[in-house]
Amino acid sequence: MPSKLEALNRWVDEVAGKTRPDRVHWCDGSDAEYRSLVDGMLKTGDLIELNPQTHPRCYLHRSDPRDVARVEKLTVICTKNRDDAGPNNHWMDPAEAHAKIDALFDGCMQGRTMYVIPYCMGPIGSPLSRCGVEITDSPYVVANMRIMTRMGTAARERIEREGSFVKGLHSTGELDPERRWIMHFPEELTIKSYGSGYGGNALLGKKCHALRIASWQARSEGWLAEHMLIVGIENPRHEIRYVAAAFPSACGKTNLAMLIPPEGYRRDGWKGWTVGDDICWMRPGRDGRLYAINPEAGFFGVAPGTSAHTNANALAMLQHDTLFTNVAVTADNQPWWEGLDGRKPVKDWQGRDYDPANGPAAHPNSRFTVRASQCPSWSPEAENPEGVPIDAIVFGGRRASLVPLVMEARDWTHGVLLGASMASETTAAATGQVGLIRRDPMAMKPFCGYNYGDYFAHWLSFDRPGAQLAKVFHVNWFRKGKDGRFLWPGFGDNLRVLEWMLKRVTGEADAVETPIGRLPRAEDINLDGLELPDGALDELLQVDNEAWRAELAAIGAYLDGYGDRLPEALRAEHRRVADALDAASSGAAPRRAAAAAS
C-alpha cells in the first residue's frame, strides 16, 4: 500500500522505474509478514531451519564467503566539499558517486521483489528518534530490519506526520566484491548500497543511518550519535546509574551491555540493565545532563566467544526466535561457534564438513540477530522516550600493552582527548588484516560521517555553562601478560572496574593523579572472590612514562593530520599531557606523592 506522503511515493516509483522489480511490497512489520518472508527463504535456501526442539524458530543464513564483514575501503562519504568528509573517510564527489552506483542499480531487481521498509530508529514516540525508509531486494535484509528496528506501519505513520525521512536504497546485486559500494550522501540524507548482503553494509538503519548520517545531523542539531553501548548499573542501594561506552567493533560492547555481576556482587544486590549494545544517541536535557536512547530494537551480535560463562544473558536470549549468520552446526543441527562449549561441530560456516584445517568452524565475524526484548537483562527504561541520564562515558580499545585497565579524565576536555587518542587492534568485523593497531577515535573511525576535526570540536562544544556532563574514563580489558594471556578476566568481572568509576562519580572512591589521567590504587578495586595472578593488578595499573611519551608523540602526529580543522583546545590539551609526561620523566617538576585527587 503506497503512502500518504507524496515525496515517499515519488521516490519509490522512481527507484522501481530504475531497478525494474517484478513486484513492490510495502512492509507493514506484522508477524504474518515476517512468517511469510521466512517461509520464502526456507524454500530458496536463504535460510536453513535449526533444531526446532532446542531452538524453536531459529534459522541459519550462510553468506557468500566473499561477503562476511563490513568493507571499509568501499564505504564512502560523498559531500560537495572533500574536507567536510575529512581524512578519516573515503570521499567521492556526489555526482560521480551517483553516476557510478546508479549504473549498477539499473535493472538490478528484475525478477525480484522490491521491499519498501519504513523504519524508526528509537522509540516511536520519542523526540530523539529519527525515521528512514530502506528499499531493498533482499528478504534477509527485511527480516533483519524487522528485528533490529521498529519497522512497518507505525514508522510509516510517523514519517507521514513528519514529512521527512532518510532514504536508503540497497540491492544485493551479484555479491561481486568488485561491484560493491556503500555510499553516503549526508547533504541529501541519502544512502546507496550495492553488492553486499552483509550486516552493516546492508541493514541501512544501523551503521549507515544511525551513525554516519545521524552523526552529520547530530552535529548541526546539537546532539551526538555514537558507537556506544548503554548499560544501567544497579547498586545494593537500588540506585541505577547509566554508563555509555565506546569500544571498536568486536571489542566488548555487547558483553558489557549484558554484564552479569560476579557472584559476591549479585549476593549484595548488584545488577546490570541492558539499554543498548551498539549505538547511542545522546543529547543534553533541560537539567544539563546528557540523556541517551538506543535507536535500535535488536542486537546484531558477535557469536564467537559467547558462552554460559562469558555472557549467559546472551545465550539465554539465543534459544528461540533468532537468526544466525555464518555460524557452524552440530550433528543435531544446533548452532555452534568457537568458545560456546566443548561440543564438536559437524558443518562449518560454509556448510562444508568441519575440518580444522579449513580454519574456525564458525566465521570469526559470525553473528546473531535477535529482538532486544528477549534479553533477560533488558531494561524497561530502553523504551523511555526521554532516554536515560548518562553518568559515565567510557572509551576503550583492544591494547595488549601500555594502556592501563582504567583511568579517569580530569575534565571534559581531557576526556575528549582520551577518546580522540583511542587506538585498537583491528578485528574480523571488517575485511582486512586482524590484529593491527590503528587509531580509532571514540570507536567511530568507520562510522563518523564527517571530518574528525569538526567532530572533536563538536564533542568539546558540550562543555558549556549549565552543562552537567558525565565523567569520562578509558578502559582496557585486553592487556596481556608476558605469557600472552589476558591479565584481566573481563566480562562480569568488569563490574569491579565500573564500581570504582561510579564511586568516582558519587565521590566515594579515591584516585591517584598521573600525567595521563587519574588511576585507582590497587586497593581501590574490589577483588573479593577473584583469583588474580601475583602482580597482575599492579601491572594493569602501571603507567610507563617513557612508553607514554612515545605514545603521546604518535597521538600528536595523528591529530596533526586534521590540520586546521583540529580544534586548538584539543591541541592545547595534548600539549598539557605531553608536558606533564616530560616533566615527570626529567624529574624537573616536583613529583607528587600519590595524592588523592578531588
Catalytic residues, by residue number, are: 251
| Residue from the set 75, 313, 494, 514 that interacts with ligand GTP by CB under 6 A | 494
87 or 490, CB closer to ligand GTP?
490
Q: Which residue is nearest to ligand SPV (CB)?
A: 200
The answer to whether 486 contacts ligand GTP (rule: CB under 6 A) is yes
C-alpha torsion angle, residues 256, 258, 264, 265 (rounded to 10): 80
The answer to whether 207 contacts ligand SPV (rule: CB under 6 A) is yes
69-88 residues in contact with ligand SPV (CB under 6 A) are 70
Nearest-approach distance from CB 549 to Mn ion, in angstroms: 32
**Binds 255, which of Mn ion, ligand SPV, ligand GTP, none (CB < 5 to 8 A, cut-off by type)?**
ligand GTP
Do residues 390 and 244 lie in contact, with contact meaning Cβ atoms separated by under 8 Å?
Answer: yes
The answer to whether 278 contacts Mn ion (rule: CB under 5 A) is yes
295 or 515, CB closer to Mn ion?
295
Nearest-approach distance from CB 428 to ligand GTP, in angstroms: 9
Helices (H) and strands (E) in the chain, counts: 17, 30
- The three cell numbers of residue 557 are 602526529
Q: How far is CA 180 from the centre of its chain?
A: 23
H/E segment holding residue 82:
helix 82-85
The answer to whether 492 contacts ligand GTP (rule: CB under 6 A) is no
Separation of alpha carbons 236 and 270, rounded Å: 6
Separation of alpha carbons 504 and 509, rounded Å: 5
The answer to whether 226 contacts Mn ion (rule: CB under 5 A) is no
Instruction: Count the residues of the shown chain that bind Mn ion, applying the rule CB under 5 A.
Output: 2
434 or 522, CB closer to ligand GTP?
434
Nearest-approach distance from CB 423 to ligand SPV, in angstroms: 16
**Backbone φ, ψ for residue 266 (5° rounding):** -60, -45
Beta strands 113-121 and 130-136, pairing class: antiparallel
240-259 residues in contact with Mn ion (CB under 5 A) are 249
Separation of alpha carbons 192 and 170, rounded Å: 6
End-to-end CA distance of the chain: 61
Q: Taking the CB of residue 298, how many other CB atoms lie within 10 A of it?
A: 25
Separation of alpha carbons 275 and 267, rounded Å: 23
**Binds 132, which of Mn ion, ligand SPV, ligand GTP, none (CB < 5 to 8 A, cut-off by type)?**
none
3-state class of 541 per DSSP? coil
| Residue-by-residue DSSP string for 137-164 | S-HHHHHHHHHHSEESHHHHHHHHHH--
Q: Name the nearest CA neighbour of 68 among 350, 449, 357, 305.
A: 350
The answer to whether 206 contacts ligand SPV (rule: CB under 6 A) is yes
**SS3 annotation, 534-545:** CCHHHHHCCCCH
The answer to whether 241 contacts ligand GTP (rule: CB under 6 A) is no
Nearest-approach distance from CB 249 to ligand SPV, in angstroms: 3
3-state class of 123 per DSSP? coil
Nearest-approach distance from CB 251 to ligand SPV, in angstroms: 9
Burial status of residue 52 (CB atoms within 10 A of its CB: 0-12, 13-18, 19 or more): exposed
| Residue from the set 94, 205, 232, 252 that interacts with ligand GTP by CB under 6 A | 252
The answer to whether 300 contacts ligand SPV (rule: CB under 6 A) is yes
Instruction: Count the residues of the shown chain that bind ligand GTP, applying the rule CB under 6 A.
Output: 22
| Residue from the set 232, 304, 360, 415 that interacts with ligand GTP by CB under 6 A | 304
Do residues 148 and 171 lie in contact, with contact meaning Cβ atoms separated by under 8 Å?
Answer: no
The answer to whether 445 contacts ligand SPV (rule: CB under 6 A) is no
182 or 566, CB closer to Mn ion?
182
| Residue from the set 249, 313, 322, 514 that interacts with ligand SPV by CB under 6 A | 249
135 or 203, CB closer to ligand SPV?
203
Separation of alpha carbons 68 and 66, rounded Å: 6
**What are the C-alpha distances in Å from 174 to residues 98, 201, 208?**
19, 14, 21
Nearest-approach distance from CB 489 to ligand GTP, in angstroms: 7
| Residue from the set 261, 305, 335, 453 that interacts with ligand GTP by CB under 6 A | 305
Helices (H), 109-212: 139-148, 153-162, 199-202
Stretch that binds Mn ion, among 127-135, 218-226, 254-262, 274-282 (CB under 5 A): 274-282
Separation of alpha carbons 249 and 252, rounded Å: 8
196 DSSP β-pair partners = none
Nearest-approach distance from CB 488 to ligand GTP, in angstroms: 7
68 or 292, CB closer to ligand SPV?
68
300 or 456, CB closer to ligand GTP?
300
The answer to whether 325 contacts ligand GTP (rule: CB under 6 A) is no
| Residue from the set 84, 226, 278, 381 that interacts with ligand SPV by CB under 6 A | 278
Q: What is the DSSP letter of 70?
A: B
Do residues 560 and 87 lie in contact, with contact meaning Cβ atoms separated by under 8 Å?
Answer: no
249 or 311, CB closer to Mn ion?
249
126-165 residues in contact with ligand SPV (CB under 6 A) are none
Q: How far is CA 321 from the centre of its chain?
A: 22
Instruction: Count the residues of the shown chain that bind ligand SPV, applying the rule CB under 6 A.
Output: 9
Separation of alpha carbons 299 and 302, rounded Å: 9
**Binds 199, which of Mn ion, ligand SPV, ligand GTP, none (CB < 5 to 8 A, cut-off by type)?**
ligand SPV
Nearest-approach distance from CB 70 to ligand SPV, in angstroms: 5
135 or 231, CB closer to ligand GTP?
231
| Residue from the set 144, 274, 310, 325 that interacts with ligand GTP by CB under 6 A | 310
Side-chain half-sphere exposure of 296, counting CA atoms within 13 A:
35
H/E segment holding residue 389:
strand 388-396
Separation of alpha carbons 438 and 251, rounded Å: 13
233 or 246, CB closer to ligand SPV?
246
Q: What is the DSSP letter of 511?
A: -
Nearest-approach distance from CB 147 to ligand SPV, in angstroms: 12
Residues that bind ligand SPV (CB under 6 A): 70, 199-200, 206-207, 249, 278, 300, 429
Per CB under 6 A, residues contacting ligand GTP are 247, 249-255, 277-278, 301-302, 304-305, 310, 429, 477-478, 486, 490-491, 494
Q: Which residues of the shown chain bind Mn ion in the complex (CB under 5 A)? A: 249, 278
